[in-house]
Amino acid sequence: MPEPTPPSSTARLRLSIVLPTYNERGNIEPLLAQLLPLQQHVDLEILVVDDDSADGTAELVRRLAHDEPAIRLIRRVGRAGLASAIKEGLLDASGDVALVMDSDGQHEPGAVLRALQALQQGDLDLVIGSRFHPEAEIHGLSGRRETGSTWANAAARRSLPRSFGHLSDYMSGFFALRLEAALPLIRAVDVNGFKFLYELLAVSRGRLRAADIPLSFQPRSYGASKLDLAVFWDFLISILHSLSLRLLPRRAISFGLVGASGVLVQLAMTQLLLGLTGRPLAGNQELALVGALTAASSNYLINNALTFRFARLRGLALLQGLLKFLLVSSLPLAANVGVAQVLVRLSYADSLSAQLAGILVVFVWNYAASSRFVWNTP
């Protein structure tokens, strides 16, 4: 794409570029080399927010910063996550305008000036670099990821305020914003969210004046994508969080979805045992108990991998956590089985409805108690 002539209004603009990094040693140096010439047009600050990379990314950036005062390193130890890194970088930025971009080389540095130009000329609060703009070029996205991103954007559009309906890439990691207008919103962003940009748009409730520009999305030069199952799970939670008008805590939504999967596990296990033994549920509490224990164990493992992955238990602690989880679940587990038995005996419900009623009883206790005593979170 041809480079625009920087508008005169950006001549001495103070620009902060936020680069979140985790194991990007092979990509960060060439990216910085491409960004530093922007000092011809703006007063430049580059904040590299590193999540204590194991490959020497932070050490490399520190050496580069010795010779280039525009580079600042923020090394985070004991805290991690893309959204929280972006939030920390934006809150530390000293510029009039802040721009966030990926550090893996897939975002073209040349788009920075185009974003600044659009921000200034359009009198906007936010400009998004879009992979799905009609004029965009995608070179670094597999067909599978492109399809997934298209579906994710469609879902995001339906969950966000209508004033953002003209945007084309709510999942983008490239965006520029005026800090004066955006700082109160940045502080409110939930850093456990799927994408920082999506969360920012959601908490703004349509108040940001936003537009997008086309990106030429490049292949990653070094390293591997950070995309995994947890990212897709976070997206689902983000959508449901927005649809609930952000009234329900994200973690409670995740815990509830995992609990819903436990419902299926319990019902399937109980029905399997009933079929194998040929015995009725009434009077055979051990069958329902096995189903409930199986569901509880399944819930624990999934919650450990997804809902509480920031405090994930491993090794011996994983087994100890399971015992704690079963312990804190034991009282409502008894209620689960007891309610089902009482309802069946009194003929108020069939066995399926009775099990569902018992499951409903345990949710609130399990969420509160396991958060505090198993994963040690508020």
Calculate the CA dihedral of residues 261, 262, 266, 272 and round it to 10 degrees: 40
The fraction of the chain above a pLDDT of 70, given in percent, is 82
Please tell me the distance from the alpha carbon of residue 31 to that of residue 12, in angstroms, as a whole number.
22
Predicted pLDDT of residue 333: 56
Task: List pLDDT tens digits, range 169-209.
Answer: 998 999 999 999 899 999 999 877 668 999 999 999 999 99
Spatial contact of 335 and 362, defined as CB atoms under 8 Å apart: yes
Mean pLDDT value across residues 120-136: 92
Cα-based torsion angle of the residue sequence 53, 46, 214, 170 in order, rounded to the nearest 10 degrees: 60
What's the confidence (pLDDT) of residue 21?
95
Residue 250 CA to residue 60 CA, distance in Å, equals 36
Contact 215, 131 (CB under 8 A): yes
Q: What was the pLDDT predicted at 163?
A: 93
* Largest separation between any pair of C-alpha atoms in the chain: 82
Which residue type occupies 365? W
Bigger pLDDT: 253 or 211? 211
In whole angstroms, give the CA distance from residue 42 to residue 40: 6
Note whether 195 and 170 are within 8 A (CB): yes
8-223 sits in which CATH class? alpha beta
* Range picked from 9-13, 143-147, 362-366 for highest mean pLDDT: 362-366
Determine contact, residues 21/49, Cβ cutoff 8 Å.
Answer: yes
| DSSP structure class, residue 281 | S
Strands 175-178 and 126-130: antiparallel
Question: pLDDT at position 204, please?
Answer: 94
Structure tokens, 351: 């066995």
Name which residue leads in pLDDT, 370 or 5.
Answer: 370
Domain(s) of CATH 3.90.550.10: residues in the chain: 8-223
Per residue in 262-307, pLDDT (tens digit) is: 888 988 888 888 778 777 666 667 777 788 889 889 999 999 988 8
d(C-alpha 212, C-alpha 323), whole Å = 50
pLDDT digits (tens, 9 = 90+) for 34-63: 999 999 999 999 999 999 999 999 999 999
Q: For residues 97 and 14, is the Cβ–Cβ distance under 8 A?
A: yes
Q: In the chain, at which residue ranges do the beta strands (DSSP E only) sit?
A: 14-21, 43-50, 71-75, 97-100, 126-130, 137-138, 175-178, 210-214, 216-217
